[in-house]
């Protein structure tokens, strides 16, 4: 895979994205990390760029995380999908897994180590998908 793997975080709460940006700052040499508060913008980015991983919040206005990850799967099936949510329940998990075929389902607050390990695993899975 040429260049650094691209990781996109989607959450309608800017403070959450700011926290993620701080927590992941030390990985900028390994990953090209992008952030957006808009699921619609995330889809535009996904259409233009090759993303290794997309990490989405579940509860967002206009389009929830399961819907976003399902659309991501349809546009770029090799992009690995992770759902990060503070309001996990069985229906959310079922919807995300069935519609978006997610790689991981993580709950907020998520320890930085657990998040980065999930992203590392997702990047490895993406590399496997594009090479096999």
pLDDT of 1 over the 70 cut: no
Which neighbouring-strand residues pair with 55? 9, 82
pTM equals 0.91
Query: What pLDDT digit, counting tens, does each position of 45-67 carry?
Result: 999 999 999 999 988 888 988 89
Rounded-to-integer distance, Cα 29 and Cα 61, Å: 32
6-131, CATH topology level:
Rossmann fold (3.40.50)
| DSSP secondary structure of 41-60 | HHHHHHHHS--SEEEE-S--
Handedness of CA 93, 99, 103, 108 (dihedral sign): negative
Q: Where are the domains of the chain?
A: 6-131
Average pLDDT, the chain: 89
């Amino acid at each position: 895979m040429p260049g650094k793997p691209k990781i996109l975080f989607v959450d309608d709460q800017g403070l959450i994205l700011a926290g993620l940006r701080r927590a992941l700052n030390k990985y900028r040499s390994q990953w090209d990390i992008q952030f957006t508060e808009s699921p619609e913008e995330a889809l535009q980015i996904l259409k233009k760029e090759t993303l290794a991983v997309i990490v989405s919040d579940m509860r967002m206005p206009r389009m929830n995380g399961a819907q976003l990850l399902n659309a991501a799967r349809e546009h770029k099936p090799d992009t690995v999908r992770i759902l990060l949510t503070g309001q996990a329940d069985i229906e959310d998990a079922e919807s995300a897994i069935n519609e978006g075929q997610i790689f991981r389902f993580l709950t907020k607050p998520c320890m930085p180590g657990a998040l980065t390990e999930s992203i590392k695993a997702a990047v490895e899975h993406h590399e496997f998908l594009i090479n096999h």
